[in-house]
């Protein structure tokens, strides 16, 4: 888990979810850490996958290249699968697609306190939309995914500033 530290009070804990945890969710992780630090907001951030097929793998090289191109520092990353315990360790569990969100609701234990949502539900006008998986595309697909994720991260930051959690 990566933390951006600043401020006081309860530190929001955010977990981003995608299919393999090598493109979209670690991009969102790196971007939130970077933007929160710029804003002076303390957060704890991690990312995970619905699938276990990429377990142990680093960032996709194309996702890492797009982060570097945009000036976002990379963190040490090792893909992992989401667990039931994650729902007790995070305040927000944000999926990249409606399918991820549905899988998270199925996996979550009864009585969990985490807020499960679709990342783009935090972007006015994009509610209910997916962040498409760029893995199958070219460099433009990674640019598009980054732009959508950036919008979701900005929406999340607005929520965190407004509620403190």
Q: Annotated catalytic sites, by residue?
A: 18, 24, 133
Burial environment of residue 22 by CB neighbours within 10 A (0 to 12, 13 to 18, 19 or more): buried
Report phi then psi at 28, rounded to 5: -60, -40
Q: Facing residues of 45 across strands? A: 2, 14
Distance (Å, whole) CA 55 – CA 8: 34
């Amino acid at each position: 888990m990566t933390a951006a530290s600043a401020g006081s009070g309860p530190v929001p804990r955010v977990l981003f979810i995608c299919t393999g945890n090598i493109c979209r969710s670690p991009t969102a992780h790196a971007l939130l850490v970077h933007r929160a630090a710029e804003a002076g907001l303390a957060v704890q951030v991690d990312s995970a996958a619905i699938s276990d097929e990429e377990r142990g793998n680093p960032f996709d090289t194309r996702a890492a290249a797009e982060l570097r191109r945009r000036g976002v520092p990379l963190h040490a990353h090792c893909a992992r699968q989401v667990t039931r315990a994650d729902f007790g360790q995070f305040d927000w569990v944000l999926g990249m697609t409606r399918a991820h969100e549905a899988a998270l609701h199925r996996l979550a234990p009864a009585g969990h306190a985490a807020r499960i949502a679709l990342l783009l539900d935090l972007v006015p006008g994009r509610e209910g939309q997916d962040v498409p998986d760029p893995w199958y595309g070219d460099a433009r697909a990674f640019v598009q995914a980054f732009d959508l994720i950036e919008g979701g991260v900005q929406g999340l930051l607005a929520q965190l500033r407004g509620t403190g959690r």
